[in-house]
Amino acid sequence: MKQLLARLQGPAANWLLVPFIPVFLFLVFFPADASAQLLVASSLLLLMWYGMTATEGPRGQLFRILVLIIGAYITLRYIAWRGMYTISAAEWSVLLMALALYLAEIYSSTIHLLGCLVNVSPLKRRLLSLADLPSDTVLPSVDVLVPSYNEDPEMLEITLRAALQLNYPREKLAVYLLDDGGTDQKLSNPDPRLAEQARQRRISLQALCERVGAHYLTRPRNEHAKAGNLNHALQFVHGDLIAVLDADHVPTVDFLNHTVPWMVRDEDVFLVQTPHFMINPDPIDRNLLRSFRRMPSENEMFYSTIQRGLDFWSASFFCGSAALLRRRHLDEVGGISGDSITEDAETAYQLHSKGYRSIYVDKPMVAGLAPETFTAFVTQRMRWAQGMIQILLLKRPFFDNGLNWHQRLGYMSTILFWLFPFARTVFLLAPLAYLYFGAQIYNATLPEIIAYTLPHLIASYMVSSMLFGRTRWPLISELYELMQSLFSLMAIIQVFINPRKPSFMVTPKGDTMEDDFISPLSKPFYILFVLMSLGFLFGLEKLINDPMTREMTMIVLLWNAFNFVTVVAALGALFERRQTREAPRIPVNETGYILHDEQQLPCEITDLSAHGCRLLCKDASVLPVGQNLQLQSYSQALGHKVILPAMIRAVRQKSYGCEYGLQFQLDSEALRNQAVAFAFGDTKRWEFFQMRRSRPMPFGKAARIILSLIWYPITLHTRFVYQTLMERVARSGLKESTHA
Amino acid sequence: MPNTPPTLRRPLVGVLILLALLISPLADAGFVDKSSRLSEFTPHSGPIRLHGVAENFDLYIPLADTSEIKDGWLDLSLSRSIALQAERSSFRIMFNETTLAQIPFNPDQPMAHARLRIPDALWRKGFNKLTLSVIQHYVYRYEDPNAPELWTEIDLYNSSLSYKLAAADQGLRLQDLGGIFSPGIGGQATVLMLSSAAADFSSADAHLPTSLPLLAQALALHRNYAPLNIQHAAWQANTADDRTAFEAGAYHAEAADTAHLLIGTRAELSSVLPNGLLERIQGPFLQLAYTKPPKASAEQPQQVPAARLIVSGNTPEEVIQAAQMLLDTTEGHSTPALPGHFLQPQGRYSFAELGRNTVTLGGAGNKRVGVKLPISGEFHTHESAQAELLLDFAYGAGVGMGSVMSVFLNGEFVHGLKLGQEHGAAFRNYRIELPARKLLPGINTLDFDFTMRPETFPGEYPTMPGSHLLVQILDSSSIRMPKASPLAVLPDLASFSATGFPYIAQSNHAAARLVVTDQALMGAALSLSGKLAQQAQRANTELRVLDQLANPGGNMILLSTPAAMPEELFSEWSAALQRSKRWSLRALNQIRTEGLLSLANASESGIIHEQGLDKQAVMLAMRYPGQMDTHTLTILSADSHALLTQRVQSLLQPQLWNQLHGDLVSWEGLGKPLLGMRVNNFYEVGEQARWDRIMLSLSNNPWYWILALLLSAVLMALLARRYLRRHEAAKLAE
C-alpha cells in the first residue's frame, strides 16, 4: 500500500479514497445487531488504545490519525443509530424533548469531530528572533497600544513599564496608553462625582505616562468600546506594526524579538498571536480545585493546542491582546472591526477573508490576569459567547468565499463551540424529564446502550485525552461549561433575537475580596441542586415500583448522578474565597541572596510580583518583621543581577528554615523598572511553569479528585448559611435589647 | 353370581339383558364416548382465576360440521375464597349464552366439584361458547371491588367435557372435508393414506412423490394448528374379496373408523374399487364419501362408517392434478379460518385484515384483547427496526384511578397508557413503536391488557359497580411493518417449528425433499410435511417425498435410522476439524449425560453407528454438506422405524413442537422435556436484496466488518497523513 501510494503522485492518490468513502459511510449507517456492534466497538476501542500508546513512536502521526478516524467512526455510528432508531414518542411534548436531546448530541458530536479535524496536527513553528533576520534588515516601527477602561493605575504602570523595556530599538518603539476612563464624555458626566473621578483618572494616568515614558491618549466619546478606542488611537500613531496589550497583560522583554521577524519575513502576515499566560487562578480553580500550581489553567487547552491546530489550517485568530498586527492590513479593513463585541476574532476573520495570513507563536510571552470572581468570569465568557454568535449570524464565515475550506471549518469550530450552553443545559435537564415526568426521550435497551452509547462515550474520551490530555484534565471541561452554560445560554438567545444588541462589557480584573461570600450568581445552581436531589427520589421510586423500566431508570439515575456531582462541584466554585492581595504573586523557583548587615544569606524565592516576594531562607537566624534589607538575584530578562531594597512584612518559621514575606521598597524609576523586569520579563519562567503543569491526568484520578471535592462545597455552603443565619439572629437580638 | 339362588337366575338375566339392550351401542348407533380436558380448548393449561365482584371467562369449544354430539356433561373442579358471602356469591355456567347452572357458594366447601349436563339442543356446529362467570362479595358495605378476597379458581386441567360423538347422518361432499378434518370435536386427527404397492417413488412417471405431500399438506391445513397423524400403507388387493373388504373400509382392520385416503391412477385403483366407481374416473378425480361397514354380526360388532377420500385420475399427471385441486380447494376454503398470511415487509395491515374485528369490552376488571401477527421465517430486519402500531381506540367516561392500558408483544411489555380522562377519550392513530427484534418467526401475539377501575367515592358504597366502564378497540387500527428482507440465519429449529422454514418459504416455492430410507417411515414424513404446511399456513407444491437419496439439491429432510443413514451425506466429515465442528464436545457430553450415545460418530470412512439412541430420537439441522448453493439438511433419527414414527408423532404435538430450538434436539416422549442445543455454524439463506444480505452477513460476521472498516480507515489515514505532511511542509516553509 505504501509503495502504491509512493508511486501515485499528486491528487491521483486521493482517488483511492473514492471506493472506500462509500464503504466507510455504509459501515456508519448499516444496521446491525447489538451483539455484533458491541464486539466491533470493543475491538475498535482496543485498537484505539493501542494506537494511542503508539502515537509517540516512529509512526506516531499515522496512529494519531488512525485513532481519530476510528473514534470518529464510533461517534458517527452512534449518532446515526440514535437518529434512525431511538427517537420516537407518543406525545408531541416528549417528541420535542427527544429531538432537543438528539440535537444536543449532534451538536456535541459535530464540535468533537471538528475538534478532531482542527487538532489533527497542531503546528509547532520554529522560534524566530530578530537575530535570524539578515543583518541589513530595516526593522519596522512598532506602536504598543494598551487600551484601558477602568483598571487600576498600579496595574497599568506595570504593563507600561514592561512594554517600555521590550528588547527593541528605542527609536522604533512607542508605547501608548489608550485611556477610555478619562474621555471627554466621562469628564462631562452629569454626575459630578463620576466626572471628578474621570478627571482625576486622566490626570493621574497622564502623570504616570509622563513618568514612565509612555504616551497618553484619550478620546472625546466612548464609542464602540475597545475597538473604537484602538481605532481612535490609530489616527495618532504611525508605526508599521501595532502590538496590542490589555491593561493587565505584561509582556516579557523578548515579546517583539520573537514576533516581529514573522512580520518582516512575509508581507502577507497580518497577525502574530501569542498565548495569554495567566498568572493567577480563575475563580473556579481558586475556589474549588485549588490546583493552580499543578493543573493546566483553563485557557491552556486553547493556547497550547487549539490555536496551534488552527494555525496549521491557517485559521489562528486574534485574541484581543498579546498580538502583533500589521498597520497596513488593518487600514485596508478600516481598522479594528466593531460589528461584534469580539472585535479581535472579527478583525482576524476579515483579514483572513482577504487572503492574508496569521501566525501563532506558541511561546508564553505575555502574562495576564484571569478574572478573580465568578461574576467577572461569567461576564467575560458571556461576551465571548455573544461576540462569536454575532460573527456567526452577521458574517456567516462558512459561506465566505474568501476563506479556503479548512479556514471555514476552523472558524466554524471556534464559533460553534460557543453554542455549548444549549447542549449542556439539555444534558442537565434531560434525565430530569424522565425522572419527573417519565418522558421516554431515549428509546433504547440496555444492550443497545452498552453497544452504542458506552463505546461512543469512551471513544470520545480517548480522543479528547489524546488531543488535549496534557492541557486539560478529564471532567474539568464539564465543570467549566456547566458553570457558564446557564448564563451564556440566555446571552446567546438574546443574540439570536437581536444580533446587534449586545454591548461590550469590560471584564473586571484585579478585584480584591475582603471576606468569603457566596457568588450572587449561585441561585440557578441551588435550584439545579434541589431538582437533581429530588430527581434521585423520583428515580428510586420508579426503580422500586416500575420493574419494567428498571434498566432505563438505572441508566438515567447514573446520568443524573454525574450531573449532580458537577452541580455540587459548581457550588463549591461559587463560594468566593477571601483575597486581599491586590497583585497576584507568581509561583517561581529562583535563587537569590538576602543582603543584610553585611551578610549574604542564600534564599529561595517561591513567589514573586513587582511589589514583593516570598522567600525561604534556611539560615538559622530569624530576622524580625519591619527589618529593611536587600534582595539580590539574577534577572534573565535584564541579563544581570538585580538588587532590590525590601522590608520584611511577615515571618513564618518552618522546620527547615524561615519563610519571609518581603515588600519591595522601590524609590526610583530604575528600581521600579528592574522589579517589573525581574518579576515579569523572563519568558523561560512562564515556559517552565507551563511545562510543569502540562501532564496527562488519568480519568480515574481526575474523577477521584472531583469526587473528593464534592462534599466540601456542601459543608461549606451549609456552614456559611448557618453562620449568616446566626449572625442575623444575634443582630436582631442585639437590636431588641438596644430598644429595651 | 355364584351365591344367587337358581330360581332367581332366569328373571335376573332377563332384566340384565333388557338393561344391556337399553344401554347397548345399538341404542346409540354410531355414537362413541369421548372426553376432553377443558385445558385443551384454551392456552391456559392450569387454573384460571376470576377476580373482583363480577368477572367471567370464555372458552370456545369447536365442533366439526360433520359430527353430531349428545349427552354432553361438564365436570368442573373449582376452589373459592373462604371470605366470600354465601348468600351473595355465586358461580354461573353458561353455554352458548344460555345459563346451565348457578352454583351458590358454600363456605364449608371452598373446594368444589360440579357436574352438569349440557342439553343437546344447545350444541352448535362450528364454535360453542362456554362462559364461566362469578358474582362475588365479601361484605355488605364499604366493599372494595378489587379486594384480594374476591376470587374463584377453576382448574381447567382437571375439569373436563364428556360427550357422545357420532358422524352426522348426512351424505358427504368434498366441501365437507373441512368438517371431517376439523380441529374441533369430531374432527379426524388421523388419516390413513393408501396407495398401491405397485406404485413406486422412483420412476420418472411416479405420481406419489408429488401427490402424497400435496395431499398431506392439504389435509393438515384443514386441521389448522391441530396435529394430523398421517399413516401410509400400500394395498396388495387383487381379488374380489379384497375389493369387498376395501369397499367396507375394513382393509386396515385396526383403523377401520379412521379416515382413509385412496390414491392411485384408475388402473391402480381397479383392484380395490368397484367398476361403477372406476368408470366415473375420466380425468382428475376427487370423491369424499363414507365407507359402508358390514352389518353387525355375532363375530363382528357394528363398525362405525369412516370417511374416505379418493384421489385419482387416468394418468399419474391427472392424479397429481387431483391432489393439487384438493390443495387449491383447501387453501381457498381454509384461509378465513387462519389468522392470515404472513405479514410482508413495509406492509400495512388493519386489525380487520388480521382477523380482529372491532371489540368492545365492558365492566370493571382486567380485560385482554389479542391480535395475532404471523411472521415468516425469512423476515429479516435489523435489530433496531420498529414496526409501527397505529391504534384506534376509545374508552368511556367514569374511569377511576388505576385504569390503564398495557400493550404486550409476545408477553413482553412495550407500552403503557394511563386511562385518566374523566369523560373518556377517543384516539385515532395512537402511535406505538414495536421493536422488530421482538417479532419472532411464527405467530406473534400483540395483547392489549386493560385494567378498568370505576371511580371511588367516600361513603358507604365507595365504588360504583363498574358496569358503565367500556373500552373499544376498532378494527381500523393497523400495524405497519418495517422494511425487511427475505433472509434468514440458519440452522434454526425454532424458526423451522414456527414457520416451516426453509422447507416452506414465503417468498417462493423452493424445491425441497422428504427422504425416507424405508417406506415404513413414509407416514411420519407425511405427517411432518403436514405440520410444516400448518406452521407456514401454506403448502409447498415443490415438496417431494422419496424413498431413497437421489438427485442431491435443494433443502432436504431425511428420516432414517442411524444404521441406514446415507454415508455420502457425511463424506466431508472425514476431516477431524469438520467433525469436531459438527459434533461439538458440548453436544456429545450433553447427550451422554442424558444416558445416550451419539446418533452417529464420524470416522475416516463416514458414519459408524456405535451404539443405539435408546428411546431417544434426534433431530439435527445443518448446512447441506458438499453443495455450492446454501441449502439445509434436517435429519430425524431413532433406533427403529417404529420408534422414529412414534417419536415424530410425539414431536408434532404442541407440547414438544413448540419447544424446538437450536439445531440439535433429542426427545423421548410427550411427558419428557425436549433437549436442544446449538452445535453447527450459522449460515445465511435468501436470494434477494444483495445489500440486505451484506448487512446480515456483516452482522453475523463482525470480523469482516472490522476488516472492511480497518482497511478503509488505514487507507484514509495514509492519505490523510500524506496530505497533512505536505500541508505542514508548506506551512513551515512560509
- Phi and psi torsions of B470, nearest 5°: -150, 150
Q: What is the fold of B174-295+303-337?
A: Chitobiase; domain 2 (3.30.379)
Dihedral sign (CA B196, B200, B204, B208)? positive
Mean pLDDT of chain B: 80
H helix runs in A590-698, sequence order: 669-680, 683-693
Find out whether B684 and B487 touch, Cβ atoms under 8 Å: yes
Q: What is the pLDDT of residue A740?
A: 55
Q: What is the pLDDT of residue A435?
A: 94
Whether B256 shows a pLDDT value over 80: the answer reads no
Same domain, A436 and A354: no
Residues 530-559 of A with CB under 8 A from B: 548
Taking the CA of residue B546 as centre, how many other CA atoms within 13 Å lie in the half-sphere pointing to its CB?
Answer: 19
Residue A53 lies in a domain: yes
What Å distances lie between residue A81 and A31, A32, A467, B487, B708, CA to CA? Answer: 8, 10, 26, 22, 19
Instruction: Report the residue of A43, A542, A552 to disrupt the B interface, i.e. the one with the largest count of B CBs within 10 Å.
Output: A43
Superfamily of domain B32-167: Galactose-binding domain-like (2.60.120.260)
* Residue found under cell 462509500: A22
In the structure, what pLDDT confidence band is assigned to residue B598 with cuts at 50, 70 and 90? very low
Instruction: Report the residue of B388, B714, B731, B732 to disrupt the A interface, i.e. the one with the largest count of A CBs within 10 Å.
Output: B731
Buried b (16+ CB within 10 A) or exposed e, A203-221: eebbebbeebebbbbbbee
Q: What is the pLDDT of residue B27?
A: 46
**Whose CA is closest to A669, among A151, A153, A161, A155?**
A161
Whether B506 shows a pLDDT value over 80: the answer reads no
- Phi and psi torsions of A246, nearest 5°: -65, 165
Residues of chain A where predicted confidence (pLDDT) is lower than 50: none
d(CA B122, CA B98): 8
Residues 405-444 of A with CB under 8 A from B: 443
Residue A24: its chain B contacts at CB < 8 A?
A: 709, 712-713, 716
User: Beta strands B32-37 and B47-51: pairing type?
Assistant: unpaired
Residue A266: its chain B contacts at CB < 8 A?
A: 734
Nearest-Å Rg of the Cα atoms of chain B is 31
Q: Is B716 on the interface with A (CB under 8 A)?
A: yes
Q: What is the pLDDT of residue B16?
A: 56
Buried b (16+ CB within 10 A) or exposed e, A40-67: bbbbbbebbeebbebbeeeeebbbbbbb
Which chain B residue shows the shortest CA-CA distance from A86? B384
Find out whether A298 and A583 touch, Cβ atoms under 8 Å: no
Residue A322: give its domain's CATH number. 3.90.550.10
**Whose CA is closest to A311, among A254, A357, A259?**
A357
**Whose CA is closest to B171, among B30, B292, B350, B312?**
B292
Same domain, A289 and A366: yes
From A271's Cα to the closest Cα of chain B, the distance in A is: 14
Q: Is A603 helix (H, G, I), strand (E, B) or coil?
A: strand
Q: Say yes or no for a CB contact (<8 Å) between A121 and B384.
A: no
Find out whether B597 and B562 touch, Cβ atoms under 8 Å: no
Say how many domains are in chain A.
3
Using left for φ > 0, alpha for ψ between -120 and 50, and beta otherwise, residue B466 falls in left
Same domain, A539 and A654: no
d(CA B423, CA B444): 34
Which residues, 6+ apart, have CB-to-CB distance to B7 below 8 Å? none
Residue-by-residue DSSP string for B107-147: TT-SEEEEEEEEPGGG--SEEEEEEEEEE--S-SSS--TT-
**Whose CA is closest to A307, among A348, A267, A251, A367?**
A348
Residue-by-residue DSSP string for B247-267: HTT-SSGGGTTSEEEEEEEHH
Q: What is the pLDDT of residue A285?
A: 84
Same domain, A510 and A593: no
Q: What is the pLDDT of residue A174?
A: 96
Q: Which domain holds residue A667?
A: 586-687
Q: Say yes or no for a CB contact (<8 Å) between B698 and A266.
A: no
Total CB pairs under 8 A between chain A and B: 129
Residue A121: its chain B contacts at CB < 8 A?
A: 724, 727-728
Each residue's pLDDT tens digit, B44-96: 667 888 888 888 888 888 888 888 888 999 999 999 888 888 888 889 999 99
Same domain, A623 and A518: no
Residue B149 gets which letter from DSSP? T
Find out whether A505 and A379 touch, Cβ atoms under 8 Å: yes
Neighbours of B656 (CB within 10 A): 20
Take residue B6 and report the three cell numbers written for it: 337358581
Find out whether A62 and A2 touch, Cβ atoms under 8 Å: no
Q: Between 3.30.230.10, 3.90.850.10, 2.60.40.10, 3.30.379.10, what CATH number should domain B488-685 receive?
A: 3.30.379.10
Each residue's pLDDT tens digit, B687-714: 656 777 777 778 778 888 899 899 989 9
Q: Select from A23, A33, A123 the Cβ nearest to the Cβ of B728.
A: A123
Take residue B94 and report the three cell numbers written for it: 353458561
Q: What is the pLDDT of residue B611?
A: 47
Nearest-Å Rg of the Cα atoms of chain A is 28
Q: Which of A665, A687, A709 is the last residue of a domain?
A: A687
Q: Which of A576, A600, A635 is the last residue of a domain?
A: A576
Take residue A632 and report the three cell numbers written for it: 539580590
Rounded percentage of chain B residues whose pLDDT exceeds 70: 80
Whether B139 shows a pLDDT value over 90: the answer reads no
Residue A31: its chain B contacts at CB < 8 A?
A: 382-385, 695, 699
Find out whether B340 and B355 touch, Cβ atoms under 8 Å: yes
Whole-angstrom distance between the N-terminal and C-terminal Cα of chain A?
Answer: 96
Neighbours of B127 (CB within 10 A): 11
Same domain, A601 and A515: no
Whether B15 shows a pLDDT value over 60: the answer reads no
Burial bucket for residue A476 (CB in 10 Å: 0-12, 13-18, 19+): buried
Q: What is the pTM of this model?
A: 0.72
In the structure, what pLDDT confidence band is assigned to residue B579 with cuts at 50, 70 and 90? very low
Buried b (16+ CB within 10 A) or exposed e, B130-146: bbbbbbbbbeeeebebb
Take residue A491 and report the three cell numbers written for it: 446571552
Q: Is B27 on the interface with A (CB under 8 A)?
A: no
d(CA B145, CA B148): 9
Each residue's pLDDT tens digit, B326-362: 988 876 544 433 334 788 888 899 999 888 999 999 8
From A530's Cα to the closest Cα of chain B, the distance in A is: 28
Take residue A449 and report the three cell numbers written for it: 446502550
Instruction: Report the residue of A14, A17, A30 to disrupt the B interface, i.e. the one with the largest count of B CBs within 10 Å.
Output: A30
Whether B585 shows a pLDDT value over 70: the answer reads no
Q: What is the pLDDT of residue A150?
A: 86
Find out whether A442 and A264 touch, Cβ atoms under 8 Å: no
Q: Which of A670, A687, A704 is the last residue of a domain?
A: A687
d(CA B635, CA B682): 17
Neighbours of B10 (CB within 10 A): 8
Residue A375 lies in a domain: no
CATH architecture of B348-480: Sandwich (2.60)
Same domain, A561 and A485: yes
Residue A377 lies in a domain: no
Each residue's pLDDT tens digit, B18-42: 555 444 444 455 678 888 888 888 8
Q: Say yes or no for a CB contact (<8 Å) between A65 and B384.
A: no
d(CA A168, CA B417): 78
Neighbours of A113 (CB within 10 A): 20
Q: Is A628 helix (H, G, I), strand (E, B) or coil?
A: strand
Same domain, A566 and A590: no
Find out whether B477 and B392 touch, Cβ atoms under 8 Å: yes
Residue-by-residue DSSP string for A94-148: HHHHHHHHHHHHHHHHHHHHHHHHHTSS---PPPP-GGGS-TT--PPPEEEEEEE
What Å distances lie between residue B32 and B63, B67, B71, B123, B128, CA to CA? Answer: 15, 11, 11, 17, 20
Take residue A343 and report the three cell numbers written for it: 472585535
Q: Say yes or no for a CB contact (<8 Å) between A32 and B724.
A: no
Same domain, A466 and A546: yes
Give the pLDDT mean for B618-634.
Answer: 83
**Whose CA is closest to A143, among A212, A225, A244?**
A244
Q: Is B673 helix (H, G, I), strand (E, B) or coil?
A: coil
Burial bucket for residue A561 (CB in 10 Å: 0-12, 13-18, 19+): middle
Same domain, A595 and A643: yes
**Whose CA is closest to A587, among A679, A663, A694?**
A679
Residue A17: its chain B contacts at CB < 8 A?
A: 715-716, 719
In the structure, what pLDDT confidence band is assigned to residue B184 with cuts at 50, 70 and 90? confident
Same domain, A257 and A335: yes
Residues 408-437 of B with CB under 8 A from A: 413, 415-417, 430-433, 435
d(CA B133, CA B97): 11
Buried b (16+ CB within 10 A) or exposed e, B404-414: bbbbbbbeeeb
Q: Select from A16, A23, A445 the Cβ nearest to the Cβ of B719.
A: A16
Same domain, A234 and A353: yes
Residues 99-118 of B with CB under 8 A from A: none
* B300 vs B205, residue with greater confidence: B205
Q: What is the pLDDT of residue B178?
A: 83
